[in-house]
């Protein structure tokens, strides 16, 4: 708990209804002029300031190669905030924030630049009342991690003792390219920072709907009794994107959909869906249950049937003709990188044994959507004539992560009239309609949690390594295969549909 809250005798530190305010601190963004900083991080910082959630002594420090002054970076940050902020742009909010924006120019191998950063952070104690507290956000390509981390080790930037406050590091995915490289990265990071000060960010865990899984499951008696293999037929987790690879050709062609999305986002959603109730909502208790769920994940025996890769070809999307993956700029004509993955996994626990978890992700699909669909078993006996229920399917609970965040419950109901006909109807809950508070962006919540030192929504190194244990065998199998082609604007290759049809099921159409 931040000192501002713990010093209030009228407030119970266990009461989480009121927002928590971090201690005076600095957020240092390496790669501060890149796309992630411009589109997500700087707007999130502005939104936190606009909501009154940053401490009076907060400083945003940018570090990049451009030969900029503090004023140049402030102008860049203002434009980013005006374009990307969720909350209205207010001059008074910006003026307060702009007075605490600093910039340091230099390459990651520039000793003098890092020495200058040390001096800047030390000077903030007298200028802004920052008692050595700093979070370092590595918004940089993964190959640059070792260089930056070793510079921080050399200069003592990572040392809580030397700083006289706390020092934390935020690492963006991917966390390595396989289990071996993930272990190497984890070892390097843990050599520089203490494990409790390392925050591996998965922005999907910052989304309000994902966090609502805890409330949905554990605050209600309605769902938890049937959240098991006795009542659940199958689980589908989908993350679909309608966009292509954009300007990420170099990164994406080396990474692919499995490493980019399946290894982190989708497996984290699986863990939250399959985990047991934690003893508390503390970070360690939640991580323990997620890790147990990941360790119980089993791979299909037949990879050729239940692990499908795809690559989009040219097609039509939203009325416009779009290029195929091999026609994208800077993509080799012989590339075998997948843009679509569908796989069937199991969770070998008493709760989930026998229930298939179908995970899929892809680019250039018909629409952007992320959802978790829990499909329940059919009633063991229906007292209706067969013709009465031809339009009746399985009951289904759908948690929509994005967009149109909310929950849909599908169940059977009689059609009004003199005849007897039972068909599916849907009951919708939308966050935007049920609450007056607009949903915060994921990066708002996660940046605030880093400053507060709350690691609840951040996977630890054990979770990362367990995820690679699941992905590595799939990647090894796919090395000798060619992705199935699918037209842009469709829901993936036919092989993905055949995968479910073999089990007597079909993909839910979002």
- Taking the C-alpha atoms of residue 61 and residue 127, their distance in angstroms, rounded to an integer, is 14
Is residue 209 helix, strand or coil? helix
Q: Determine if residue 173 is labeled as part of a ligand binding site.
A: yes
Helix (H) or strand (E) run with residue 84 in it: helix 70-84
Q: Determine if residue 38 is labeled as part of a ligand binding site.
A: yes
Query: Count of CB atoms within 10 A of residue 336's CB?
Result: 15
**Which of the following is catalytic: 128, 230, 265, 381?**
265
- How far the first Cα of the chain sits from its last, in Å, is 40
Q: Determine if residue 207 is labeled as part of a ligand binding site.
A: yes
Q: Which of 424, 417, 328 is nearest to 375 (CA)?
A: 424
Q: Determine if residue 346 is labeled as part of a ligand binding site.
A: no
Q: Which of 370, 30, 421, 423 is nearest to 208 (CA)?
A: 370
Residue 353 tokens, joined? 């044994």
Residue 128 among the catalytic residues? no
Q: Determine if residue 150 is labeled as part of a ligand binding site.
A: no
Q: Determine if residue 246 is labeled as part of a ligand binding site.
A: no
**429 strand-pairing partners:** 407
* Axis-axis angle for helices 179-192, 145-155 (nearest 10): 20
Q: Determine if residue 260 is labeled as part of a ligand binding site.
A: yes
Q: Which of 218, 169, 235, 174 is nearest to 197 (CA)?
A: 169
CB 355 within 8 A of CB 234: yes
Q: Determine if residue 65 is labeled as part of a ligand binding site.
A: yes
* Axis-axis angle for helices 267-274, 208-218 (nearest 10): 20
Q: Determine if residue 37 is labeled as part of a ligand binding site.
A: yes
Query: Count of CB atoms within 10 A of residue 321's CB?
Result: 10
Pairing of strands 340-347, 357-362: antiparallel
Binding site, annotated residues for NADP(+)? 31-38, 65, 173
Binding site, annotated residues for substrate? 203, 207, 241, 260, 363
Binding site, annotated residues? 31-38, 65, 173, 203, 207, 241, 260, 363
Q: Give the catalytic positions in this structure.
A: 265
């Amino acid at each position: 708990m931040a000192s501002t809250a713990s010093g209030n005798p009228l407030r119970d530190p266990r009461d989480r209804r009121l927002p928590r305010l971090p201690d005076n601190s600095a957020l240092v963004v390496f790669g501060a002029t890149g796309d992630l900083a411009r589109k997500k991080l700087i707007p999130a910082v502005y939104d936190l300031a606009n909501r009154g959630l940053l401490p009076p002594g907060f400083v945003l420090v940018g570090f990049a190669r451009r030969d900029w002054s503090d004023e140049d970076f402030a102008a860049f940050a203002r434009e980013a905030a005006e374009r990307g902020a969720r909350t209205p742009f207010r001059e008074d909010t910006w003026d307060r924030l702009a007075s605490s924006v600093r910039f340091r120019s230099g390459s990651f191998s520039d000793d003098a630049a890092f020495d200058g950063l040390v001096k800047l952070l030390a000077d903030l104690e007298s200028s802004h009342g920052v008692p050595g507290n700093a979070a370092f956000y590595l918004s940089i390509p993964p190959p640059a991690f070792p260089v930056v981390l070793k510079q921080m080790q050399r200069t003592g930037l990572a040392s809580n003792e030397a700083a006289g406050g706390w020092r934390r590091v935020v690492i963006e995915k991917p966390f390595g390219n396989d289990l071996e490289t993930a272990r190497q990265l984890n070892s390097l990071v843990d050599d520089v920072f203490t494990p409790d000060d390392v925050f591996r960010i998965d922005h999907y865990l910052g989304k309000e709907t994902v966090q609502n899984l805890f409330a949905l499951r554990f605050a209600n008696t309605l769902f938890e009794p049937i959240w098991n293999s006795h009542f659940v037929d199958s689980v589908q987790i989908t993350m679909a994107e309608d966009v292509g690879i954009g300007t990420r050709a170099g990164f994406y062609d080396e990474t692919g959909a499995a490493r980019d999305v399946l290894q982190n986002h989708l497996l984290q959603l699986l863990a939250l869906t399959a985990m047991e109730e934690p003893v508390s909502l503390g970070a360690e208790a939640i991580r323990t249950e997620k890790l147990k769920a990941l360790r119980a994940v089993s791979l299909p025996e037949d990879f050729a049937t239940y692990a499908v890769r795809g690559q989009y070809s040219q097609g039509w999307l939203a009325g416009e003709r779009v290029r195929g993956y091999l026609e994208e700029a800077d993509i080799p004509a012989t590339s075998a990188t997948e843009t679509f993955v569908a796989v069937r996994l199991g969770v070998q626990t008493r709760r989930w044994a026998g229930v298939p978890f179908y995970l899929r992700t892809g680019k250039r699909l018909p629409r952007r959507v992320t959802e978790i669909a829990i499909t329940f078993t059919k009633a063991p006996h229906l007292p209706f004539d067969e013709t009465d229920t031809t339009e009746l399917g399985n009951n289904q609970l759908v948690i929509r992560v994005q967009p149109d965040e909310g929950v849909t419950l599908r169940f059977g109901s009689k059609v009004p009239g003199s005849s007897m006909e039972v068909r599916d109807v849907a009951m919708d809950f939308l966050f935007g309609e049920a609450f007056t508070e607009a949903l915060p962006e994921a990066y708002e919540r996660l940046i605030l949690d880093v400053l507060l030192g709350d690691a609840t929504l951040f996977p630890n190194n054990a979770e990362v390594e367990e995820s690679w244990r699941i992905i590595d065998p799939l990647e090894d199998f796919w090395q000798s295969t060619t992705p199935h082609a699918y037209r842009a604007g469709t829901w993936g290759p036919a092989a993905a549909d055949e995968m479910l049809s073999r089990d007597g099921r079909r993909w839910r159409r979002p």
